[in-house]
Amino acid sequence: MRDVARALGVSQATVSNAFNRPDQLSRELRDRILIAARDLGYPGPDPIANTFRRGRTGAIGLIIHEPLQYLFEDPAARLTMAGVARVCGEHGSSLVLVPRAEPGLPDVVPTALVDGFVAFCDPLEPERRELLRARRLPVVGLDAPVTPGEPYVGIDDRAAARAAAAHLIALGHRRIGVISFALARDSETTVVPAGLDAPTGYVANRARLDGYRDALGPALDDGGRIVVVAARGVEEADGAAAAVPLLDHAEPPTAILAMSDRLALGVIAEAARRGIDVPGDLSVVGFDDVPAASSADPALTTVRQPHARKGAEAVRMLLRPASTRQALILPTEVVVRASTAPPRT
């Protein structure tokens, strides 16, 4: 910087402004500085030194509990990330993606150059809570609180699941299958003996199972049957695999509730492979209302939640003073489409 300033006869502060505060200089002067810097091999102020000098990085970290590609492959996650990115852009902030820690590799949380974190996790792992506590940076939960009682942005998963199940009960279904997310990390597809009371450490899983149970009481009281299968993963193929033990049952369900649209679309694909008509022989309900839900054949009945708004509100909350942060629960609704109908008599 000193050499560039000397070559042009300007102050080092003026050179610094050319890189950090271009609005303080004329276009002609800034261009001269940048050309001279290039010719002299000066790349600009050191970003780490700038961070220490300003006391901030201008970046926000997005923590996830999935592999990094999940944010780009899963449609609900993409919508949520779009909301995060939009508000980061509005505030001139960069976005740093922090995937789950893999065995044998260091966790990125302790070294990420960010001003705070949005934790898109369910729940945040205890080890990472400790790492974040040591960083002493602001953290906002997205979908679940980072620690119980702390502010976060999410939905009422229990009420949303209750409404989805109540739709099937109102149609007259009494034999119902439930396809849950995995109840533990790296578990296989399995029929769950404990049914809707299955233990799980995942906040959304627990809340949605409770919501299904709230609404499915009439089915059990009428002599109906509820069978729960935990899927191995979150893709359509995982939904199809989880549907197999349900559809192979001696008395298969007349309806299936899936905890995501991708799982539900997998159920529809497996039903089609077997020649099972949806919704004539089998009603299917998803959760999320991703773009593929409305274009499916048949169009999928599902729970709509505001993914992009969730991401946007989480960043807005993080950027507010800590004293003004409080839990924000966003609305959901059941969107009835062609994949549900009364059971055949």
Mean pLDDT by 10 residues, the chain (345 residues): 87 84 87 88 66 69 92 96 96 92 85 94 87 92 90 96 97 96 91 95 94 90 90 96 97 97 98 98 98 97 98 97 94 98 91
Contact between 146 and 198 (Cβ < 8 Å): no
pLDDT of residue 37: 86
Beta strands in 223-313 (DSSP E): 225-230, 255-258, 283-285, 302-304
What is the spatial distance between Cα 180 and Cα 228, in angstroms, rounded to a whole number?
Answer: 7
Three-state DSSP state, 120: strand
Q: How far apart are CA 4 and CA 39, in angstroms?
A: 9
pLDDT at res. 46: 60
Select from 161, 143, 157 the least CA-distant residue to 285.
Answer: 161
Average pLDDT, the chain: 92
Q: Which token pair is 203?
A: 């906040």
Instruction: Please provide the DSSP assignment of 37-50 as one string.
Output: HHHTT---S-HHHH
Q: What b/e readout covers 268-282, taking b as 16+ CB neighbours within 10 angstroms? A: bbbbeeeebebbebb
Q: Which two tokens stand for residue 62?
A: 């997005």
When computed from its CA atoms, the radius of gyration of the chain, rounded to whole angstroms, is 25
63 and 125 Cβ atoms separated by less than 8 Å: no
pLDDT attached to residue 52: 47
Closest CA to 122 of 258, 234, 237: 234
Give φ, ψ of 280 to 5 degrees. -55, -45
Spatial separation of the C-alpha atoms in residues 313 and 302, rounded to whole Å? 23
Cα separation, 279 vs 339, in Å, equals 5
